[in-house]
């Protein structure tokens, strides 16, 4: 195959923006987007609430500076301040650009882009399209990529980077439709595969495929992972499925109620109430449940998200998806009765360690969006900043790779490398010595992570978690792929996804065990306070000779000094 200038892995918001921007930067480049699903299926579509930008359409006194401060404070001061600068300064431009290419934003009475209040933000600056913002952004980007003639390799599962010395020669992937292992020799590779929070399995709001494929590929290639222990739990997942009820529901005025009928957020965030930052609200819900003020059901304990006082009109016009989901997955119409909710693993702040230009330590390899970690979210991401992150840094990745592609010679990926991968994969199909069922391992991984590496953490639990993960990794060696066919082998794909989740779970648990403090989403009951003297730094997890090694990286400071974080 003719070598590519840029191979983008992942067709969500970050990947598609990267493709669009790269073609804009240099139309003569040979660019491909690989995705394990059709790009319009990507998990970007699930983002309901919106994207933050200080457009000042709603609050005329909003500024980029305020957005920066909110983000840094929200991150519990673990975000790199120069990176946050980039994120927030680029925000208005990127939202306008999306408008210019056809994103159907909801509108204000003066016909400008509508904005709503969101958790942890000092001003209403979250730009939205009803409660389908991510979906409409993804559609718009996909449409524009089709228009620009981007070459898509849909339903290709990325297996590994082909590495020689300190640089990548391209990517190796499996064509799901044929089962063939194919080489994508490339000057540059952009990893944009989304997050890894699905490792919490049934206690996760994520799509089944958010298994951290890009991070795992990078990790196995020796690229460091950053701040992996920071996993955000969204306060309001549906009780039975973990599926998400957008923060927009609280932004529009929804109440959180315990079984005594109290608006219990008054105890935890007097001023912001339900619109406190996510980590705080999640901990509040978990505390209510642990202290016996939750409702009881066979599907577990839960609390109420009450929208009934908002009225049928508002719910139907602003939160139609939420209403539909509540009815489909809980049998509850939010116009009539409160929605049963509990916290659910939702977002991975950690990811592939990159600089502000999305470069990793490996020449020619970039990472963007939830897959990468610049870091702009630090220990806790604010609602409305994740869509923004994938757009801003997806764009930067596309631009940077397009400018730097010429610096790197395309590599050659040998037949032998492909055969080795194929043999490796086929070995799961051998009947002798392979008997473990992936479904069970996956379920157990989710359980141990939820219990031992969940919202409230402590040394003994984390030790248990680390041990469980190690045992699961051992058992994985004996996992069996029962479907032996080449064509669209989803059994095989799910097993490979499990391998990725297991590799990353180890880094999450190890990071959480090492970090003896509480910061943002990471709460240690045995170390309940933030310890800036010891832990105001990033954690790096690197695979060295097949073993996990932890190290540190300092946080880039700027205008804002460390402060206590209260709401």
| Residues at the contact surface with other proteins, assessed by CB under 8 A | 24, 37-38, 40-43, 45-46, 55, 93-97, 99-102, 104-107, 109-113, 129-130, 132, 135-136, 139-140, 143-144, 146-147, 154, 177, 207-209, 240-241, 243-244, 297-298, 321, 324-325, 328-329, 331, 437-440, 481-483, 485-491
**Closer of 37 and 310 to other proteins (Cβ):** 37
**Closer of 297 and 551 to other proteins (Cβ):** 297
The phi and psi torsions of 183 (rounded to 5 degrees) equal -100, 140
**Closer of 336 and 440 to other proteins (Cβ):** 440
Is residue 491 exposed (0-12), middle (13-18) or buried (19+ Cβ within 10 Å)?
A: middle
- Residue 397: Cβ within 10 Å count: 34
The phi and psi torsions of 107 (rounded to 5 degrees) equal -120, 150
- Residue 333: Cβ within 10 Å count: 15
* E strand spans, 96-191: 115-116, 126-127, 151-154, 156-164, 167-175, 181-191
The phi and psi torsions of 347 (rounded to 5 degrees) equal -150, 140
The phi and psi torsions of 168 (rounded to 5 degrees) equal -95, 145
**Closer of 48 and 400 to other proteins (Cβ):** 48
Marked catalytic residue, from 278, 283, 395, 499: 278
Q: Do residues 74 and 232 touch, judged by C-beta distance below 8 A? A: no
* E strand spans, 275-353: 303-306, 339-348, 351-353
Question: Least CB distance from residue 29 to other proteins, whole Å?
Answer: 16
Question: Least CB distance from residue 502 to other proteins, whole Å?
Answer: 17
- Residue 312: Cβ within 10 Å count: 13
**Closer of 333 and 486 to other proteins (Cβ):** 486
Separation between Cα atoms, residue 174 and residue 154, nearest integer Å: 11
Question: Least CB distance from residue 151 to other proteins, whole Å?
Answer: 13
- What is the CB-side half-sphere exposure of residue 442 using CA atoms within 13 A? 20
**Closer of 152 and 513 to other proteins (Cβ):** 152
Separation between Cα atoms, residue 128 and residue 120, nearest integer Å: 17
Q: β-strands 156-164, 51-52: how paired?
A: unpaired
Question: Least CB distance from residue 369 to other proteins, whole Å?
Answer: 17
Q: Does the annotation mark 278 as catalytic?
A: yes
Question: Least CB distance from residue 334 to other proteins, whole Å?
Answer: 16
Question: Least CB distance from residue 280 to other proteins, whole Å?
Answer: 25
Question: Least CB distance from residue 95 to other proteins, whole Å?
Answer: 8
Distance of CA 256 to CAs 202, 212, 242, 290, 294, Å?
Answer: 23, 32, 17, 16, 11
**Closer of 104 and 122 to other proteins (Cβ):** 104
- Residues with a catalytic annotation lie at 278
């Amino acid at each position: 195959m003719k070598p590519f200038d840029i191979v983008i892995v992942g067709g969500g918001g970050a990947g598609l923006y990267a493709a669009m921007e790269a073609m804009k930067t240099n139309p003569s480049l040979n660019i491909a987007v690989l995705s394990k699903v059709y790009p319009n299926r990507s998990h970007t579509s699930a983002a309901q609430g919106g994207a933050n930008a200080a457009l000042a359409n709603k609050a005329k006194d909003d500024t980029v500076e305020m957005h920066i401060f909110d983000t840094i404070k929200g991150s519990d001061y673990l975000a790199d301040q120069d990176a946050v600068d980039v994120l927030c300064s680029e925000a208005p431009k990127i939202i306008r650009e999306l408008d210019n290419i056809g994103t159907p934003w909801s509108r204000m009475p003066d016909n400008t882009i509508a904005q709503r209040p969101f958790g942890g933000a000092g001003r209403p600056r979250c730009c939205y399209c009803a409660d389908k913002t991510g979906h409409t952004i993804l559609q718009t980007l996909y449409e524009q990529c089709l228009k620009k003639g981007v070459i898509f390799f849909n339903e290709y599962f990325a297996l590994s980077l082909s590495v020689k010395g300190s640089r990548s020669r391209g990517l190796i992937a499996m064509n799901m439709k044929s089962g063939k292992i194919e080489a994508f020799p490339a000057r540059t590779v952009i990893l944009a595969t989304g997050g890894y929070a699905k490792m919490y399995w049934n206690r996760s709001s994520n799509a089944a495929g958010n298994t951290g494929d890009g991070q795992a590929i990078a990790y196995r290639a020796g690229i460091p992972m950053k701040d992996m222990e920071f996993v955000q739990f969204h306060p309001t997942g549906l009780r039975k499925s973990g599926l998400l009820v957008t923060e927009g529901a609280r932004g529009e005025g929804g109440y959180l109620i315990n079984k005594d009928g109290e608006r219990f957020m008054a105890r935890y965030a007097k001023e912001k109430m339900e619109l406190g930052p996510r980590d705080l609200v999640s901990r509040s819900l978990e505390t209510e449940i642990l202290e016996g003020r939750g409702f009881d059901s066979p599907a577990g304990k839960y609390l109420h998200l009450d929208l009934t006082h908002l009225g049928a009109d508002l719910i139907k016009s602003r939160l139609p998806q939420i209403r539909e989901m509540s009815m489909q997955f809980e049998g509850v119409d939010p116009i009539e009765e409160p929605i049963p909710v509990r916290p659910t693993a939702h977002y991975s702040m950690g990811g592939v360690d990159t600089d502000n230009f999305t470069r990793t330590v490996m020449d020619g390899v970039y990472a963007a969006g939830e897959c990468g970690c610049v870091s702009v979210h630090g220990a806790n991401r604010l609602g409305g900043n994740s869509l923004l992150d994938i757009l801003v840094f997806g764009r930067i990745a596309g631009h940077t790779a397009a400018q730097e592609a010429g610096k790197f010679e395309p590599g050659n990926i040998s037949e032998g490398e492909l055969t080795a991968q194929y043999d490796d994969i086929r070995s799961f199909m051998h009947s002798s010595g392979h008997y473990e069922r992936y479904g069970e391992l996956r379920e157990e991984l989710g359980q141990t992570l939820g219990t031992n590496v969940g919202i409230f953490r402590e040394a003994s639990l984390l030790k248990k978690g680390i041990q469980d993960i190690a045992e699961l990794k051992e058992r994985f060696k004996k996992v069996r792929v029962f479907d032996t066919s080449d064509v669209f082998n989803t059994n095989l794909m799910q097993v490979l996804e499990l391998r990725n989740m297991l590799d990353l779970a180890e880094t999450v648990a190890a990071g959480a065990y090492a970090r003896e403090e509480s910061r943002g989403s990471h709460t240690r009951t045995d170390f309940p306070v933030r310890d800036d003297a010891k832990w105001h730094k990033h954690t790096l997890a690197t695979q060295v000779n097949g073993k996990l090694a932890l190290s540190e990286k300092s946080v880039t400071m700027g205008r804002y000094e460390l402060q206590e974080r209260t709401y």
